[in-house]
Structure 1
Amino acid sequence: MDPLSALKDFTIRGELDNITRIDDEFRFAGDYSFPCTIETAFRSKQGNFYTLEALLFFIRHHHVKHSEYIQSARLHRIPAVTLPDRKPLLDYLQGRIASYESIELLPVDEYRPDDPSYGAIPPISSFGAGGESTLPEPLDYVSLLRARERPLKDRESLLECRNRDFYSVLVASTRREEERHRIESQQRKDGLVAKTRLIGSDDRGDDGVGYDSTPRPKMHLKGSKIGEGVPIILVPSAFQTLITIYNVKEFLEDGVFVSSEAKVKAMRGAPKPDCVTVQKKLSRDRVVAAYEVRDKPSTFKPEDWDRVVAVFVLGKEWQFKDWPFKDHVEIFNKIIGFYVRFEDDSVESAKMVKQWNVKIISISKNKRHQDRAAALEVWDRLEEFMRSRSHS
């Protein structure tokens, strides 16, 4: 083992404190010993080889300013590492690069066993005729093996995969969910989904699904009450809002906010759904209520507007263009409004919304475990609104 490689090993392993100076030698935890002034294989850009003493002093003081390091080296009368050599030398000793043009390691067979700087393998003459060691101390072969070990992977490099990232994990985790969305959308068009939603309490229990026994209105009611069929929740079609038809299902059903951009990428070019069905569940098999989510009110018929119960607002006036209401007061008397925002957004972003009868829901940009509380607040407000409409 040459002194430069030994120093690199101890640097990477964080064992520089185990290198001690005894007289004119450096001893590497009892594994190796080298003269302090032995030249290493690292050649300075000025042409000379750095000594082991110079490199060890540098690696122990590399964290200080270069000017302070130079002064300290002079005080200790140790040759200093020049500024141009500083970064490549540090990268090599800390294992960030495997080699460097200034390193001129000798072939292994040129390190003679009887060379006092070798220190790793004792010469044959160190053993008696019967094979017993004549050295003052027994050789620790385990330490020798460990000294030659090289770290191949750490916990960071294990997470690095060429040409792959964690986006593929998101795609894999949402593929099944997207297929379920597609099937439910098709079922809605066929009238199969609406059959199992909002049915009277006297009709429940025959189809094996555990629905809540709370009566739901199913007649066509004009004015302030809900029309016949599945209630509708409107969301903006613009990406400037946090909740869209792409991510509303994850937010309301699972209590997790996923950005619309991430959902679009996960769909891999699949067309945007015209309608998404979201369910309020007490458990996996117990459905409390179900709603259709749409984002194209311009295609609505009058009977569709009778079923609209909620809207996620964008905060812009043009969202309500051509709606069959005379003003915002009428809209938010007949439809409950929600405005979802990041909690650290500026107040100005909600300035317009605060003038409307709209519930502001705040979520965190990074703390996803808080999303469920925000989703439950939406459900609680919506169910309270539904009860008030059904009794008005």
Structure 2
Amino acid sequence: MADPTHTDPLSLLRLSISTSTPPTLSHSPQPADPSSTTPISLSSATYLIFAHPITRAFPLSTPTRFHKSDSTPVDLRSIYFAWQHREDTIPDYISKAQALGDGAVTNLAFLERLELVTWLEGGQEDSEFIKALPAPAAAVAAANTAQSASGQVVQGRSQSYTSGGSGALAGKVRATDPRLLEIYSYERVVTNRNTLLRGIKPTDFSHVRKQAEDFITRLRTTKPATAAVPATKSLPHRGPPTTIPASLTPKPPKSRSRIDPIILLSPSASSLLTMANIKPFLESGVFSPSTTASGPHPQIHHVSRLLPSIHATTPFRFIIVDSPEKFKPDYWDRVVAVFTTGQSWQFRGYKWSNPVDLFREVRGYYVGWEGEKTPDVVKGWGAGVRCYNVERARRFRDREVCEKIWEGVEVWMRGKGWGQNGR
């Protein structure tokens, strides 16, 4: 009686993967000429030929037991394509599927492709997308899977009956015993955590380690609270007072300071964001024209902002000024954003007086009124300058502009290494 799994292309593909004997593509039911140097592509091939456990050819258009979420069967060509590109990202997988031609392969969703790859690799025995074999075939398939995973289990067990001269016969009877096949159908391949947690690609959790290191460092450097000592009855002291050498007195740990990033504003009177209104705008997303502010304004502001992708718990303190007049040379390494009105005289005295060079080093922002055209000179300074507009009447849109500015600052700081090496 023939093994039912030998007529199922999906089961044969799984067996060939477990035994490292991959199938080959061909233009006919016969294997391709091994002397040919021209590889056969999946788009031009019409047959998939298996060499293990028997030589068997299947048309690539054969429907398989794998069904999509809408119960549509998936053909063998699409199954083999998904296996070949199991390590590709979703965009790469879709683009390569489209490159084969419209409708050449069935596009599998992420969850469907993940289930298929995991089942083919032996990571699981059941899948909601794979129809079950008929009962006898399912029992034989489970027996073959157990035999392949444990190093020819059936042969090994049958050889244990070779004593007494009837071992071959006993092994043959045991291999076809229905009761034994039913037992094999309940066996499962032993897996480990790498198999169970495996996805299409390994996930990089190095950022979690970085956050844990920062958290542990803060715990070590934080001064512990002094424990309350219960009052006890004092005993009379005899002799001179005892003094503790200064060298033995524990010193409080030094707190590690972090560099404050700097934001530069334009000193131009035409700027919408000035020292008079920048603080409520960056802190709360509330914009009010600077012309409405009365009285003198501070020459420096401090704004705190949490940047989760750089440090999940400790906010940064930003220093905001509109002139680099009192800058030290190393202050320019701390500048993370420059607001401009498009007037090049603003950059006199900057480390990079050429705007094109400046906005290669720091993030630039131009904020204008809604409906007004962005100056051409600002557009000519390159992609390093982001342009946003605020509306004259609808103030609820100001918070959206504020969040976009902070998002750009966070992305730029993360790319420059902020949050590492004490920054």
TM-score interval for Structure 1 and Structure 2 normalised by the shorter chain? 0.3 to 0.5
TM-score by length of 2: 0.37
Q: Looking at both structures, which has the greater relative contact order when contacts are Cα pairs under 8 Å and sequence separation is at least 6?
A: 1
